[in-house]
Amino acid sequence: MNRSELTWIRSSYSGAEGGQCLEIAADTQAVLVRDSKAVPGPVIRVSREAWAGFIRR
């Protein structure tokens, strides 16, 4: 899936000014993570299982 076709969700810890935060999007295979200040920049792709383990901790 193309990155522009994904629905990106910004961290709830982000303030009104944007600040330093992450955005995530999920496709059928993985969760993608990017820097909200560098949208066209690199994206980290992790498996759904790895993401679930990360948020459980």
Quote the CA–CA distance of 53 and 41 in Å, as a whole number: 25
* pTM for this predicted structure: 0.77
> What's the number of domains the chain is made of?
1
Count the alpha carbons within 13 Å of 35 in the hemisphere toward its beta carbon. 7
- For residue 27 the two structure tokens come to 């496709």
Supply the DSSP symbol for 28: S
pLDDT in tens, 32-56: 999 988 888 999 999 999 999 998 9
Q: Which stretch of DSSP H or E encloses residue 52? A: helix 48-56
- Quote the domain boundaries for residue 50: 3-56
pLDDT in tens, 1-34: 566 689 999 877 766 665 678 899 999 899 999 9
Q: Which residues contact 8 (CB under 8 A, 6 or more apart)?
A: 23, 24, 25, 34
